[in-house]
Structure 1
Amino acid sequence: MAQKTVLITGCSSGIGMALAVKMAGDEQKRFRVYATMRNLDKKDHLVEAAGRTIGNTMEIMQLDVCNEDSIKMCISNIPDRRIDILVNNAGVGLIGPIECQTIDEMQNVMDTNFFGLVRLLKEVLPDMKKRRSGHIVIISSVMGIQGILFNDVYAASKFAVEGFCESLAIQALKFKLHLSLIEPGPVVTEFERKVFEDGMKMDLSAADKETADMFVNIYLKNYKQIFQTLGQSAEDIAEHTVKIILAENPPFRHQTNTLYTPITTLKYADPNGDLPIETFYKLVFQHDKIFSASLNFIKLQGEEQNDIKN
């Protein structure tokens, strides 16, 4: 296959960096990767991980998905403005009671996670349509399918992404374009560590005592255990993403974590939408010991599956 030009956003760490390094290091050199980030002062880890691919199959460029001029400048510096594969990965997180979050903080999440994608597509989509060729890959989340306690605004941003892409996919099909949503569950990265640390430092004075206690003693208390049990690495997500990119007929949605699939399946099992909400409620507030035991059981199952594979 001819070498494909790939633009990836949010490459200073985590999934974006892992994917850029993996694609640029492809033994068959099928990809020329433009690894972008908002702040080039944070490129050192990527440079170290990318090694000799820098200047060969990888270029590092500045791109801020919240700034239209930044997007235009970056894409204008790519030969012929040609992007065969666009990977929208840049994002921010936010957890906690909404009473303790400012509207500016919420708007920042929507501006980055949703409107960031929209800005990119307004610049890239017309060229893909003209060529009738291209693959748009969005790093979404299972929280674009199922909302989770104290992730209200982050889930809203991912629901917006999913609804936007589901609508756009029909048009994309007419222009012979591929559009794929990659939906990880928990991923152990710097992104998640920062979200957790920000949650730990959150001023909860605006919340009632019961809500604040719920956030600290239920959500934050179980946060690490959930990630230890269900969490994947950035490299896992990169591997899944490359498989979808290389697929002859890439799917519209791809969940990366089979351990998480039963949770999202609840949503489709009940058209009324009550089943997943009631199930989560009972697990969190009525059967917390069963919830912890279930996590341990899932973790053991995952370890057994890995032992069998190895």
Structure 2
Amino acid sequence: MLKSTTGKPTMSPKTVVITGCSSGIGLALAVKLAKDQLKRFKVIATMRDLGKKKQLEDAARETLDNMLEIKELDVCSEDSICKCVNSIPGQKVDILVSNAGMGLIGPVECQSLDTMKMVFDTNFFGLTRLVKEILPDMKRRQKGHIVVMSSVMGIHGLLFNDVYAASKFAVEGFCESLAIQALKFNINISLIEPGPVITEFEAKLYEEAAKMDLSSTDEETAKMFRQLYLPYSKKVFHTLGQTAEDVAEHTVKVITAEKPPFRYQTNSLYTPLTTLKFADPTGNLHLDTYYKMIFQHDRIFNASLSLIKFLRGRSGNQPGRKHS
């Protein structure tokens, strides 16, 4: 127990391990938790390459080495994970936030199997390595919270996101199965499901996609990717996209909830699209809607995006954010 400024005892801060903190959502979340006014969290912000820690150090400022520590952790290495956890006093992790991830877009014929395996090694097996290391102690203590940065693409597939969506489907299936067992040990598992998020991660992904060698696919698919998908994605991100800070804000709500939800979508503007998946057990409604929206009614969809952009501009609202 710690003493507050009023002399009354307060609870010791919870130890939170966050992966992928060199930029984006991981960085924003680490800083938000470290700057919590009630000092409820001691953040272990991790990243694969400590050479990229300056941005986090600059953002953390006065919390650095006090409420926030930066450590090396590569989710693709069991030894790296073990070394990081062993450096934590008592190896006690109250909250694990699995955020590190890798994206991949483009025609499947143009992607190597080695690259596909890297996506799964990071997005799926990275999570399982973390859970294998941290879950046993949470079980022993009968307490803990595992927060996983998933995606709406863990619920439904999206054009030219075949492998990335598959990795997130795997994450969702793993967590949904594990959550049943975890409840027996008083451990919560939460899947955070953002839609489009405007980060350096996404910008670099699409920048590389624009230069992709499409010689391994047919002319129609290449044209579809370059002239339809990439411009379409740019409009969707510009209109529906959230900032990393907004997603981090929603994630803090899940972490601090008395009864954390298992699934939490951060972008209310995207929810009607994901709802289609559950409205028809055959899956045809979801597929037909997306097909028609992209290939037959693209003008209507573009007009809808323009209207949403106009309404957001007038209200000043961020998607998913509630205003009092």
> Where on the TM-score scale, by shorter chain, does this alignment land: which range?
over 0.9
In structure 2, the residue matched to 1:97 is: 107
Q: Structure 2: which amino acid aligns with 1:152? A: D
The whole-number CA distance in structure 1 between the counterparts of 2:54 and 2:37 is 23
Mapping 1:4-83, distance limit 5 Å: 4-83=14-93
Structure 2: runs of 5+ lacking an equivalent = 1-10
> 1:124: Cα distance to partner?
0.1
The whole-number CA distance in structure 2 between the counterparts of 1:301 and 1:173 is 42
Which of 256, 259, 277 is equivalent to 2:269?
259
1:232-268: CA deviations, max 9, x gaps? 0000011000001100000000000000000000111
Is the counterpart of residue 227 in structure 1 residue 237 in structure 2?
Answer: yes
Which structure shows the bigger proportion of residues in helix conformation? 1
**Alpha carbons of 1:61 and 1:304: their partners in 2 closer, same or farther (altered >3 Å)?**
same
The whole-number CA distance in structure 2 between the counterparts of 1:156 and 1:124 is 25
> 1:87: Cα distance to partner?
0.1
Which of 287, 298, 303 is equivalent to 2:297?
287
In structure 2, the residue matched to 1:303 is: 313
- What TM-score, normalized by structure 1, do the two folds share? 0.98
The whole-number CA distance in structure 2 between the counterparts of 1:44 and 1:268 is 43
Q: Structure 2: which amino acid aligns with 1:112? A: T
> 1:300: Cα distance to partner?
2.8
> 1:303: Cα distance to partner?
3.5
1:42-90: CA deviations, max 9, x gaps? 0010000010111100000000000000000000000000000000000
The whole-number CA distance in structure 2 between the counterparts of 1:296 and 1:18 is 29
> 1:23: Cα distance to partner?
0.4
| Conservation of the 8 A alpha-carbon contact between 1:259 and 1:302 | no
> Equivalent residue of 1:218, what SS?
helix
Which of 110, 125, 130 is equivalent to 2:120?
110
What's the RMSD between the two structures over aligned residues?
A: 1.2
The whole-number CA distance in structure 2 between the counterparts of 1:227 and 1:122 is 35
Comparing 279-288 with 164-173, greater Cα deviation is found at 279-288
| Conservation of the 8 A alpha-carbon contact between 1:95 and 1:154 | yes
- What TM-score, normalized by structure 2, do the two folds share? 0.94
> Equivalent residue of 1:10, what SS?
coil
The whole-number CA distance in structure 1 between the counterparts of 2:272 and 2:172 is 19
> 1:224: Cα distance to partner?
1.3
In structure 2, the residue matched to 1:148 is: 158
The whole-number CA distance in structure 2 between the counterparts of 1:269 and 1:33 is 40
The whole-number CA distance in structure 2 between the counterparts of 1:168 and 1:135 is 12
The whole-number CA distance in structure 1 between the counterparts of 2:310 and 2:284 is 29
How many corresponding residue pairs?
Answer: 310
1:168-209: CA deviations, max 9, x gaps? 000000000010000000000011011101111110000100
Which of 285, 288, 302 is equivalent to 1:278?
288
> 1:306: Cα distance to partner?
3.4
1:94-151: CA deviations, max 9, x gaps? 0000000000010000000000000000000000000000000001000000110000
> Equivalent residue of 2:316, what SS?
helix
Q: Structure 2: which amino acid aligns with 1:99? A: E
The whole-number CA distance in structure 2 between the counterparts of 1:7 and 1:51 is 19
In structure 2, the residue matched to 1:167 is: 177
1:214-244: CA deviations, max 9, x gaps? 0000001112111011100000011000001
> 1:305: Cα distance to partner?
4.5
> 1:304: Cα distance to partner?
4.3
> Equivalent residue of 1:248, what SS?
coil
> Equivalent residue of 1:178, what SS?
strand
Q: Structure 1: which amino acid aligns with 2:140? A: K
Q: State the percentage of identical aligned residues.
A: 65
Is the counterpart of residue 134 in structure 1 residue 144 in structure 2?
Answer: yes
Deviation >3 Å, runs of 4+: 301-310
Is the counterpart of residue 211 in structure 1 residue 217 in structure 2?
Answer: no
The whole-number CA distance in structure 2 between the counterparts of 1:70 and 1:287 is 49
